[in-house]
Structure 1
Amino acid sequence: MVKLVLPSKEEGYGVVVNLDKCIGCRACEIACQAWNGRKAVETTFSTVFANPPDLTADAWKVVFYYESESQKTLNIPEGSFTFQQVTWTPLPFQCMHCYDPPCARACPVGAIKVTPEDAVVIRAEECIGCGYCQTACPYNVPRRGSDGKFYKCTFCVDRIQNGLKPACVEACPTGVFTFTSIKEAVRIAREAKSQGKAVYGLDLDNYIGGGTRWIYVASKEKASALKEKLPDNPVVATRQAQEVLKDIAIPGFSAGAVALAIIGGFAYWRAKRFEQQVANEGGEKR
């Protein structure tokens, strides 16, 4: 039986990401790739200057850049002058490490583990490449590698278990990331919120357990980046289908056989649902 055991929400670690300190240098990206031994590949810039354009099986952390405008007034001896101030906000992004990770609940073979530190980790040797983790993730984090398996940020749990900070946290030259206990991270975030800053990662949908271990804070000038990158309501359209998977157990069958049965059953369910939708709309199947 695939059973998911979660630490208490008050146990383990968390990271507060202060966007007001980020200069977009990508040192965190490079440190992540180097520490985890991910291969470098030729990439291109995206429309928001991210390079690579998005997360991949080899790029577990990517810095995105968002533009916003605000009206400013400059007072000079001749009077006041009002103009539009353009602000660029870099946003480092990786797995959010949800309190109750839907990717782990969706995995039919239990390949996604939640460690005592509350790091959500995909065990590649157990992954069957079904892709349910990516479908279930409201942040679209897990990515398929060339070997057919899925990969993502591990919270550098190997470093944490040896008394070290995550590689990206250690590499940041401006102190964007505050790595601490989750209780302290939540306290810092709530204090920032009380001071009028935008906060993401607290009081979210129960689909992800109500919050994330990576918590973002930003001033009002940079808050729009949070809106652009992170969903207000972190759920997915296939939530009901994913929930069905979490407690499945078939005595006498191997995990692989169970996974194949689930995949086939889910594919059949989707096909039948499409047929029903076509029939309801009076259209023709193609």
Structure 2
Amino acid sequence: MNEISRRTFFKRTLASIAASTLVLASGNKTAEAGDTVQYGTFIDLTRCDGCAGKDVPACVNACRQKNQHNFPQPQEPIQPYWPQTKFEDWSRKKHLTDKLTPYNWTYVQPVEVKHNGKTFKLNIPRRCMHCDNPPCANLCPFGVHNKTKEGAVVIDRDYCMGGAKCRDVCPWDIPQRQAGVGIYLKMAPKLAGGGVMYKCDLCIDLVKKGQEPSCVQACPQKALIFGEKEEMRKLAHRRAKEISGYIYGEKENGGTSTFYVSPVPFDKIHKSIMAKKKQAPKPERIGIPGMEPAVENYLDSANGTLAGYLIAPVAGAFAAGITAIKTMKGEE
């Protein structure tokens, strides 16, 4: 964006605003599958042992290695933008692997659950669920959060303003923000933008090449399996039937592309996770929100529907400008 001036950005935005606003006003930016295969992930919690004996689980390590070139490099010193008086900075905590951060897009969450008189020690790989109708994408005020035809929910990090609306509407608080980076530093560093949001993108570059995400490739226990979404759904149901287990992700948040199978009910897993979070000292809360079954999609609520219509014009304007700039640069 160095060679694009602010004036050019806004002129191109106004030139395309009408068309893009009409497209986004429908409130649904979920890509239509068309002839493209939609993919999903099956995660078998009976197989994942958290890579016992290793400092970092193999899936986490593989993700970090694969995406390190995408990790933020904040501009120092980081300044808060008006009217904010603080900012989110993880640049000095890059080493953390036990929670989601802009430098760590997946992690394995250990939890103990009592069920039918037994204590189960589970290890749960956590990252973006890649929802069927993602509220994060539909309610992004900057129009930079999208669902691809392959089923991956991705953030255009080059144009994200770090508003964090995506995290606000995500039931699992998946996207994480890093200040001191992003287009807002060039556009209006003192008035808008909190940085850039980061999360798992399902290794969409590998998927488009016919390869598996790095976390799936690295799993030594084959606890993560990747393939056509409907096949992963069938596999999850088959495995759940074999162990008299439970499925998570098929209906939660309106449906996702990630299907967990557990030997214990997910409401018990959720309670155990949340109890552990309450015991953890602030601000270093452990992990991310629990796995509450039947969590509803924000877009299905009256407030969510209204928010979609209110945000659409803003998102349309911003998306129009981005499209114009990419066209000028030969990216589209």
Normalized against structure 1, the TM-score is what? Answer: 0.72
Give a deviation string over 1:204-250, Cα, whole Å, max 9, x none.
3xxx4x31101100123998436643122323779544433434554
Q: Which amino acid in structure 2 is aligned with residue 14 of structure 1?
A: G
- 1:220 to 2:264 alignment: yes
Give a deviation string over 1:71-121, Cα, whole Å, max 9, x none.
66xxxxxxxxxxxx5432110100000000010011022101211101000
Closer, same or farther in 2 for the Cα pair 1:70/1:187, shift >3 Å?
Answer: closer
- 1:68 to 2:113 alignment: yes
Which residue of 2 is the match for residue 113 of structure 1? 146
What is the CA-CA distance between 1:69 and the residue it aligns to?
Answer: 3.4
Are the aligned partners of 1:106 and 1:243 in contact in 2 as well (CA < 8 Å)?
no
Map of 1:1-286 to 2, 5 A cutoff?
A: 1=21, 3=24, 4-8=29-33, 11-25=37-51, 26-37=57-68, 38=71, 42=93, 52-69=97-114, 85-146=118-179, 147=181, 148-195=195-242, 196-204=244-252, 208=253, 210-220=254-264, 224-225=268-269, 228=273, 229-235=290-296, 240-247=302-309, 248-250=311-313, 254-255=317-318
Are the aligned partners of 2:245 and 2:265 in contact in 1 as well (CA < 8 Å)?
no
Give a deviation string over 1:98-154, Cα, whole Å, max 9, x none.
000010011022101211101000001221221111111111101111331111000
What is the CA-CA distance between 1:254 and the residue it aligns to?
Answer: 3.9
Give a deviation string over 1:251-286, Cα, whole Å, max 9, x none.
9x942999xxxxxxxxxxxxxxxxxxxxxxxxxxxx
Are the aligned partners of 2:58 and 2:218 in contact in 1 as well (CA < 8 Å)?
yes
SS in 2 for 1:90: strand
Are the aligned partners of 1:108 and 1:246 in contact in 2 as well (CA < 8 Å)?
no
Q: Distance in 2 between matches of 1:222 and 1:133?
A: 24
Q: Distance in 2 between matches of 1:213 and 1:128?
A: 26
Are the aligned partners of 2:135 and 2:297 in contact in 1 as well (CA < 8 Å)?
no
What is the CA-CA distance between 1:171 and the residue it aligns to?
Answer: 0.4
Are the aligned partners of 1:113 and 1:121 in contact in 2 as well (CA < 8 Å)?
yes
SS in 2 for 1:20: coil
Q: Distance in 2 between matches of 1:101 and 1:237?
A: 9
Closer, same or farther in 2 for the Cα pair 1:198/1:226, shift >3 Å?
Answer: farther
Are the aligned partners of 1:14 and 1:181 in contact in 2 as well (CA < 8 Å)?
yes
Count of residue correspondences = 235
SS in 1 for 2:46: helix
Q: Which amino acid in structure 1 is aligned with residue 238 of structure 2?
A: E
By percentage of residues, which structure has more strand? Answer: 1
Are the aligned partners of 1:55 and 1:61 in contact in 2 as well (CA < 8 Å)?
yes
Q: Distance in 1 between matches of 2:161 and 2:116?
A: 52
Closer, same or farther in 2 for the Cα pair 1:165/1:256, shift >3 Å?
Answer: closer
What is the CA-CA distance between 1:62 and the residue it aligns to?
Answer: 1.1
Q: Distance in 2 between matches of 1:88 and 1:249?
A: 44
Normalized against structure 2, the TM-score is what? Answer: 0.63
Structure 2 residue ranges without an equivalent (≥5): 1-20, 52-56, 73-90, 182-194, 274-289, 322-332
By percentage of residues, which structure has more helix? Answer: 2
Give a deviation string over 1:165-197, Cα, whole Å, max 9, x none.
000000000100110100101111222333421
Closer, same or farther in 2 for the Cα pair 1:163/1:71, shift >3 Å?
Answer: closer
Q: Distance in 1 between matches of 2:49 and 2:265?
A: 15
Identical pairs, percent = 29
Q: Distance in 2 between matches of 1:154 and 1:41?
A: 23
